[in-house]
Structure 1
Amino acid sequence: MKTGIVTTVLGNGQRASNGDGGPAIEASILMPDAICLDVHDNLYVGEKYGFRIRKVEHETGMVRTLVGTGEPGFGEEGLHGSVTRCNSVEAGIYADPDGTVFWGDCSGRTRRYDGQTGIVTTILGGTSVHDDEAAVGGFLNGPGGLSVGPDGHIYVADVWNQRIRAIDPFTGIIRAIAGSGARAYGGDGGPAVEAHLGNPHDVSVDRAGCVVIADTRHGHIRRVDSDGIIHNVAGAAFQWDKGDGGPANSACLIHTLAVCHAPNDDIYFGDSAVGRIRKIDAKTGIINTVVGIGLKGFSGDGGPAIEAKIGSPTAIRIDTKGHLYFADELYHVIRRVNAYSGIITTITGTGKVGFSPDGTHASDADIGFPRGLAIDSRDRIYFSDTKNNR
């Protein structure tokens, strides 16, 4: 972000899905939602209404479809991605270093594109909510966030089944690692599989393999340790003090949504009901607000982030220097908090929905409903400009 100029890396703004084999900026993309980068800075995009997974090569800027024909549906097992139908891609997407891609679609399945062969298989998706069986037969009811642990296990937020589920990369077996299936709150200090969750929307895994959950309905952040015991990391019932400077499990939270880990395992999450982003120190368990005064709005650029107003942080990422970036879908902006000064700036967007052409300075550029957010190895920012099909 040295120039502060916004440029399109994929999409010409047309409501279509085409242009494979040519420059990504000349191609059309239809409602991009989930995005991610691999270690080589190749960009992967899930199209909500184009029904495709597409890849932009970092070195060439060329785009191609990995999976999807443009027709919605569940493609047969074992076909090449180019002839495999794909449903709307609205949830998590992840790419391995070899170009293997995992994603969740709106049918409740998690699928895999093999980066070497181009073959698509289902790793999770069927009619069974039972555990300890082949993941291909398992059913997800509204898959949310997806995260991959240091040992290769894939974790998926099974939002409406009130569970977090894990897929073993070696056996293909699925199991719940948290959640009894009941939409309620309880179970802290006991086995995570016997605990109750409330519409968990996101999941993140730290360097030790501990799984952190955004328990959205109940306004809590919870953690499953390697021994399978669940703990309340942040949030307290009947507590109205925001709790800054104290234990995170005594703080008032309302609607925990996006969650992510910093490189040092500090936890960042958004409370979308009140317009805040909070940080939990990994060593002390102390919580502090890092963005937002607790009233929704769009203000505060150039001043302390804790005095700013924000809307609904739908994605949060931390770059290699510790700077925080978030997508605010409510006010159509991407904002940044400096890790050293705590100053907030809007790096993209004006606060109103719209579209501005390439070459516009990012702070003057209108965007629409940004949802996906990713940062590459050079700390360049990528986001899905969902309304503008870019």
Structure 2
Amino acid sequence: MPRKHPFPLILFLFLAGGVCAPARAEIGTITTIAGGGPKNVLATKAHLHNPTDVATDSQGNVYIVTSGQAEVFRVDAVTGVLTAAAGSDSSGFNGDGGPAKQASLNGPYGLAVDAAGNLFIADSYNDRIRRVDAVTHRITTFAGGGTGCAGHTYIGDSCAATAAILYLPSGVAVDGAGNVLIADLGHNRIRRVDAVTGVITTVAGGKTGNLGTLGDGGLATDANLSFPQGVSLDGAGNVLIADTNHNRIRRVDATTHIITTVAGANRPVRALADAMGNLFITHRGLLQPHPANRRDKRDDHNRRRHRRLWLYRR
């Protein structure tokens, strides 16, 4: 079973350069926890440029990835102070093997923390997943950046993850066993790195046949995905996929590996499930709660500046 996550109680939202929390089910209150000023100060006075994902560790510390600053920040659970966790405020690729805060990231977009507190960053424009060790705080390439390996697919499936080829990875998640799931946007796949062997495989998508046939009701590896931006897991270990260009949330059953559509959404980028099975979906647009089966028009201004949150109740 995947480890429990604070998400069932607290929902973090992105709004106009800040991170807002919590949105609690009981009272529906949103407060700003980060954004609006310099860093190395209280998070509410910090400046964030295009935050794109957020994660928490077992101690309640909050990690925020900002694609605009090419950095990952940490908000201390006790002091509320925001400090840099990875990246050096300059885009590029360097620093593997060294301190994470001295490394360069390029368009980081997704973020996850495992049970040990290790940080996984979807370093999108570097076509890699980077890992920051919880103890040493050193950064390494965890997946991607390779050229494939002999006798396997051109993208490196069934190879060591560091030999694989990723193309604009945009989302990352870790299951209860430590396996890492990657939304490989450019390859239209969800990839999985085995926690024991370190081998990468495709667990959903990758088919290039008739794109009008999505593959619902069949094996996830026989399905079509189109620019999947987000991946997560629900409490049962099922994989949730924000299938962005197909305008839907897909679910891969943890036991049967069958893929189905569970909700429609307008260019979704993330989906998370709470302990009761309610599904929260973010997509580009004005931020406000909506039933997941309802469609609303968006103007260009709001599409550029905000995301919407939709709630799909079971």
Q: TM-score range by the shorter chain?
A: 0.7 to 0.9
In structure 2, C-alpha distance between the alignment counterparts of 1:174 and 1:193, rounded to whole Å: 14
Q: CA RMSD in A?
A: 3.6
Check 1:115–1:269 CA distance in 2 against 1; reply closer, same or farther (3 A cut). same
Alignment deviations for residues 53-86 of structure 1 (CA, whole Å, 9 cap, x no partner):
5555969999876555x34x6x4xxx43269642
Among candidates 170, 188, 200, match of residue 230 of structure 1: 200
In structure 2, C-alpha distance between the alignment counterparts of 1:271 and 1:102, rounded to whole Å: 24
Confirm whether residue 124 of structure 1 aligns to residue 86 of structure 2: yes
In structure 1, C-alpha distance between the alignment counterparts of 2:226 and 2:107, rounded to whole Å: 21
Among candidates 316, 320, 323, match of residue 271 of structure 2: 316
In structure 1, C-alpha distance between the alignment counterparts of 2:172 and 2:78, rounded to whole Å: 28
| Mapping 1:332-347, distance limit 5 Å | 334-336=290-292, 345-346=293-294
Counterpart for residue 93 of structure 1: 54
Counterpart for residue 275 of structure 1: 247
Among candidates 200, 205, 211, match of residue 180 of structure 2: 211
Task: Report the structure number with the largest CA radius of gyration.
Answer: 1
Structure 2 residue matching 1:165: 3-state secondary structure: strand
Q: Give how far 1:273 is off.
A: 1.7
Q: Give how far 1:234 is off.
A: 1.3
The two structures have a TM-score, normalised by structure 1, of 0.64
Alignment deviations for residues 295-326 of structure 1 (CA, whole Å, 9 cap, x no partner):
xxxxxxxxxxxxxxx43122212232324343
| Mapping 1:241-390, distance limit 5 Å | 241-291=213-263, 310-329=265-284, 334-336=290-292, 345-346=293-294, 351-353=296-298, 369-371=306-308
Alignment deviations for residues 257-291 of structure 1 (CA, whole Å, 9 cap, x no partner):
22211111111112222223222121222222334
Letter in 2 for 1:318: A
In structure 1, C-alpha distance between the alignment counterparts of 2:296 and 2:28, rounded to whole Å: 29
In structure 2, C-alpha distance between the alignment counterparts of 1:212 and 1:159, rounded to whole Å: 14
In structure 1, C-alpha distance between the alignment counterparts of 2:30 and 2:263, rounded to whole Å: 36
Check 1:41–1:97 CA distance in 2 against 1; reply closer, same or farther (3 A cut). farther
Cα pair 1:161 1:181 within 8 Å, conserved = no
Q: Give how far 1:152 is off.
A: 1.6
Alignment deviations for residues 345-367 of structure 1 (CA, whole Å, 9 cap, x no partner):
44xxx61348xxxxxxxxxxxxx
In structure 2, C-alpha distance between the alignment counterparts of 1:288 and 1:39, rounded to whole Å: 23
Check 1:352–1:167 CA distance in 2 against 1; reply closer, same or farther (3 A cut). same
Structure 1 residue matching 2:166: 3-state secondary structure: coil
The two structures have a TM-score, normalised by structure 2, of 0.78
Higher RCO, 1 or 2 (CA under 8 Å, sep at least 6)?
1
In structure 2, C-alpha distance between the alignment counterparts of 1:83 and 1:141, rounded to whole Å: 25
Q: Please, which runs of 5 or more residues in structure 1 have no aligned partner?
A: 1-36, 293-309, 337-344, 355-367, 380-390
In structure 1, C-alpha distance between the alignment counterparts of 2:96 and 2:16, rounded to whole Å: 29
In structure 1, C-alpha distance between the alignment counterparts of 2:142 and 2:16, rounded to whole Å: 29
In structure 2, C-alpha distance between the alignment counterparts of 1:245 and 1:261, rounded to whole Å: 19
Indicate the percent of aligned positions where both proteins have the same amino acid: 31
Cα pair 1:247 1:287 within 8 Å, conserved = yes
Structure 1 residue matching 2:221: 3-state secondary structure: helix
Alignment deviations for residues 216-236 of structure 1 (CA, whole Å, 9 cap, x no partner):
112111101112110011123
Q: Please, which runs of 5 or more residues in structure 2 have no aligned partner?
A: 300-304
In structure 1, C-alpha distance between the alignment counterparts of 2:250 and 2:257, rounded to whole Å: 12
Structure 1 residue matching 2:245: 3-state secondary structure: coil
Size of the alignment, in residue pairs?
A: 292
Among candidates 98, 104, 111, match of residue 65 of structure 2: 104
